[in-house]
Structure 1
Amino acid sequence: MNKKNLSISLLAACVLGASGFGLYQLGLKSGMTNAPKAVATNSTDLPAAASVDPSTWGIPEGETATRRHIEAGIKGGDVDPVTGRSILYYHDPMVPGKKFEAPGKSPFMDMMLVPAYAGAQGSDNGTISVSPRIQQNLGLRTGEVVFGQLASEISAVGTVAWNERGQFAVQARTTGFIEKLHVRAVLDHVRKGQALLDIYVPDWVAVQEDYLTARRLQGRGLENLAEGARQRMRQAGMSEAQIALVERTGQVQARMTLVAPASGVVTELMAREGGTAMMGTSLLRINDLSTVWVQAEVPESQTGRVAVGAQVEAQTPALPGELFLGQVQALLPEVNPATRTRKARMALANPKGMLVPGMFMQMQLSGGQVPPTLLVPSEALVRTGKRTLVMVVEDGAFRPIEVQIGHEQGGQTEVLTGLSMGQKIVLSGQFLIDSEANLKGVETRLSSTNEQGPTSAAPQTYRTNALVEAVTGEMLTLTHPEIPALKWPSMTMDFKLSPDVASPKPSAGSEIDVEFRMQEGEAPQIIQWRARQSKVKGAKQ
């Protein structure tokens, strides 16, 4: 009995499995038959939209038009009886490039396909439509073009550096031996006239003895001997002060003390006690701190407003409350490619010596008078690399407008041409609209108009033979073989007769040769056709 019951159970399971598989195959076949077909594009594998009962989709408010299209069976190429506009195709805005000929639910996202219209809101006049639901999901914000004035002041940052024009070099005027250093370390402060080092100069002994001997001699014509000895002391490198000291004391002065030519900081110290100082050798270098330089980083877009001699106000976090004044000394020919800033040299007064090299400075530069102009938020600009665009709102649709921009400051940018005051523009989400404009060829046509002018080359045409499957008004459904020039496989798709093509139209079932051209956002347009010599069965003569 157990074996018999087991056999009956296995048989029942097999029957149920076969029945379920049959029902699955039937449902799959029905779903594939009712699913909307994708409009042919360059892709060879387009998915179909989901086909389920519209009443179970839970269509939100605002998508009633799509529900009506489903119930009325309105497909791509048909005219919407409510709006009177031609529906080009259906698409998912979140997956650009995929087009469907019938309404339905997107196979990619949990949302419905959106119709793309021709006419006032479509690509015919260069505008792009975006579903209100998509706009809300993206948080799309808009603003207006205003007439205003940028601030006359320019902000910049930089670091303090030595004023190279306040640099002094102390050199040996003759060969000698360094006996004593009064300054022993770099960055020591010195005052003007302060002793720096003592040098013993053996060569001075002989010329000074000659001078003192000539002065002691009495007689006519001996004055020239003393003057000649004085000139030899000058040639040996003695200064007027040292010669006067020899005359006043009547003694040989073989040691020389070098003093600081200005107050400042010792930035270089090459001399050492016991060393030899050769004629012309640099012994010390002193930098004046009464004025300092600031190497400022000015935004590249604002350098046109920076003028040499403009007043500068600077502050540093190291000295809160202290204000330093100066002016623009030079705009250096160097731009930082990483930060897109240009170096400007500022000269700041530093009477108390509080500013030292390396300090961080925040500055306000006087940019002069700035005339009022049109302004838009900088976030509204779409920079494509070749041009700058702004998305303008027109009757609920969007149009890309090329603009020329000027200076940028504080999140605002000057608009020189392309817009007018009060126009409504897109501030956020414009990159999705720009991608849709590229998809529909709006920006391409904009580029062609700007670069080629009103006269442009004729569009490229293609030829193929085809079988006429159906004729609906100006639309022909054709089955064509592979078209290598377009990388199209053999398929069945819709073509549109050009208004210039004279009647009669080809009949269903006939084989024809066609010449057509591509249209952005619309079916290919047949500009010429003729009947082939061989006819298929059932073709009309």
Structure 2
Amino acid sequence: MSLEISQRARLGLAAATLALVAGGAGYGIAHLSGSEVPAMQSADTGRKALYWYDPMVPTQHFDKPGKSPFMDMQLVPKYADEGGGEAPGVRIDPATAQTLGMRIVAARRGELASSLTATGTIDFNQRNVAIVQTRSAGFVQRVYGRAPGDVVRAGTPLADLLIPEWGGAQAEFLAVRRTGNAALTQAARQRLMLLGMPSGTIASVERGGRPHNVVTIATPIGGVIKTLDVRAGMTMSAGQTLAEVNGLGTVWLNAAVPEAIAGSLKPGQAVQAALAAFPGETLSGRVSAILPTTQADSRTLTVRIELPNRGGRLRPGMFATVSFGGATQPALLVPSEALIRTGKRTLVMLALDKGRYRPAEVQAGREAGGDTEILAGLREGEKIIASGQFLIDSEASLSGIAARPIGGAASTTTPARPAASLYETVGKIEQITANSVTLSHQPVPAIGWPAMTMTFQLPDARVARGLKTGDRVRFGFDQAPAGPTVRRMAKVVGK
């Protein structure tokens, strides 16, 4: 059953809306004349009132009409025939709906593409690194004027080293070679290789017939010299690092992705990168790895993207904007503006038949292009309010209308309240009929009711069997859409 907003409440909503639009220009509730209220209330003459309430404090019920103790306005009656067996909801007439600027759309099936965007920076490809070391102890005779940060090609000389140990071993090799003994010559050649002598140097010794104890150290790959620890006159030990060279054929783009949305990314996913250094140009790459650690200060994951670096234009430290593409996936979609996010849950306002509206809880998923995916709580074709829903949601909250739970999307009726959730108090029977009972009862702290006299629905006459006017009873009731309804009642013996 539904709760119908009284004419005064509807005009109050419309006036509040006009006040917001006018921005203090003099429009508002003050324009409602006092003569209008009696005329609006008189239209309901002849209907049976269950109780009266203040629309601004709907949980407080009164047993007779009058002025509200909370606001400077008349109490509004709640009638027994409101709802007519309909599902709970707020009723808004079309004129008021138009004044509120409500727009109604239907939940639809559609394609939702991934549109995650993040920022990142260019870094060296740490898999393309060469470490230049000495293979034997020696002395630095000459350096070639290189410095850290220089971009060099493969084979670029760095320094000349004099290695005395190689001179003696090469002289022995040449002496053995002159004997003509192939086995001894091969053994002597093997000794030169074990001393760390490059095969090219050994071949040069064989061709020239004289020792070469000065060797030129060169870069094995092209790239950037990251470190260079060699100076003329230095003494070098075996295995000492002379330089570190990082290749530039490919670079890494490290993008910082919030952990809340990083779950949809996968290695191998295609990406598009736009660099501030090259406006209007888009680079294509793929996710090579998602690093296993999360940055504690920013709550982001680092996504590593490998990009080709043709011409060496991409330099470490450059800033980039990354768009993670993905295949579109079918989803149930609603406009993102239709969602009401309370912090604890997400709601939409259902548009039911006959101008009724009711909140429904939903589970939201991905968002792209102004649409949001609904994972649960809504069916295809159900109509919701896309704009102007916040005032209706406020009215539903004030009227005590519960949101449809996520599991209730397949049902249009509200299940009966279990007995465990009944509100209990003690009261005196003032009047009893076949369908109702009027009780002067004590306060009900669970729902903020004070002590008062009011009429409750009595759906089953057996609940009041054996009871009469004047009896003191303990009763349990719930707040059904038709109004407060007594579910059980027993006579209290004694004081």
Q: TM-score, normalised by structure 1?
A: 0.69
Distance 1:441 1:375, change over 3 A: same
Determine the structure 1 residue equivalent to 2:490: 529
- Contact 1:511/1:532 (8 A) holds in 2: no
Tell me how far apart the structure 1 counterparts of residues 416 and 84 of structure 2 sit (CA, whole Å).
24
- Contact 1:265/1:289 (8 A) holds in 2: yes
Task: Give the CA deviation at 1:240.
Answer: 0.5
- Of residues 256-265 and 155-164 in structure 1, the stretch that sits farther from structure 2 once superposed is 155-164
Task: Give the CA deviation at 1:448.
Answer: 8.6
Q: Are residue 188 (structure 1) and residue 150 (structure 2) matched?
A: yes
From 169, 174, 178, the equivalent of 1:207 is 169
Tell me how far apart the structure 2 counterparts of residues 255 and 118 of structure 1 sit (CA, whole Å).
109
Determine the structure 1 residue equivalent to 2:134: 172
From 23, 27, 32, the equivalent of 1:59 is 32
Determine the structure 2 residue equivalent to 1:125: 87
Distance 1:118 1:474, change over 3 A: closer
- Contact 1:119/1:125 (8 A) holds in 2: no
- Contact 1:519/1:525 (8 A) holds in 2: no
Determine the structure 1 residue equivalent to 2:349: 391
Which protein shows a greater Rg?
1
- String of CA shifts for 1:238-267, please: whole Å, max 9, x gaps: 110121222233333223322111111122
3-state SS of the aligned residue for 1:164? coil
- String of CA shifts for 1:171-205, please: whole Å, max 9, x gaps: 23233344444354322111111012333333323
Task: Give the CA deviation at 1:321.
Answer: 3.4
Determine the structure 2 residue equivalent to 1:34: none
Tell me how far apart the structure 1 counterparts of residues 297 and 48 of structure 2 sit (CA, whole Å).
50
1:392-471 aligned at under 5 Å gives the runs: 392-394=350-352, 395-428=354-387, 430-431=389-390, 433-434=392-393, 437=396, 442-443=401-402, 446=405, 458-460=419-421, 465-469=426-430
Distance 1:409 1:269, change over 3 A: farther
Q: Are residue 235 (structure 1) and residue 194 (structure 2) matched?
A: yes
Task: Give the CA deviation at 1:488.
Answer: 7.5
Please, which runs of 5 or more residues in structure 1 have no aligned partner?
A: 1-55, 73-79, 535-541
- Of residues 232-241 and 297-306 in structure 1, the stretch that sits farther from structure 2 once superposed is 297-306
Which amino acid counterpart does residue 477 of structure 1 have in structure 2?
L
Distance 1:128 1:358, change over 3 A: farther
Determine the structure 1 residue equivalent to 2:12: none
Distance 1:85 1:396, change over 3 A: farther
Which amino acid counterpart does residue 189 of structure 2 have in structure 1?
R
Higher relative contact order (CA 8 A, sep 6+): 2
Which amino acid counterpart does residue 377 of structure 1 have in structure 2?
P
Task: Give the CA deviation at 1:154.
Answer: 5.4
Which amino acid counterpart does residue 161 of structure 2 have in structure 1?
I
1:352-391 aligned at under 5 Å gives the runs: 352-368=311-327, 370-383=328-341, 388-391=346-349
Tell me how far apart the structure 1 counterparts of residues 143 and 76 of structure 2 sit (CA, whole Å).
88
Please, which runs of 5 or more residues in structure 2 have no aligned partner?
A: 1-28
Distance 1:365 1:177, change over 3 A: same
3-state SS of the aligned residue for 2:405? helix
1:13-412 aligned at under 5 Å gives the runs: 59=32, 67-68=38-39, 70=41, 80-81=44-45, 89-93=52-56, 125-129=87-91, 141-151=103-113, 155-182=117-144, 184-216=146-178, 218=179, 222-297=181-256, 306=265, 308-333=267-292, 343-368=302-327, 370-383=328-341, 388-394=346-352, 395-412=354-371
Q: CA RMSD in A?
A: 4.4
Task: Give the CA deviation at 1:159.
Answer: 2.0
3-state SS of the aligned residue for 1:125? coil
- Structure ranking higher in strand proportion: 2
Task: Give the CA deviation at 1:67.
Answer: 3.3
Which amino acid counterpart does residue 349 of structure 2 have in structure 1?
M
Distance 1:178 1:129, change over 3 A: farther
Determine the structure 2 residue equivalent to 1:496: 456
Which amino acid counterpart does residue 391 of structure 1 have in structure 2?
M
Determine the structure 1 residue equivalent to 2:18: none
Which amino acid counterpart does residue 170 of structure 1 have in structure 2?
V
Tell me how far apart the structure 1 counterparts of residues 311 and 65 of structure 2 sit (CA, whole Å).
79
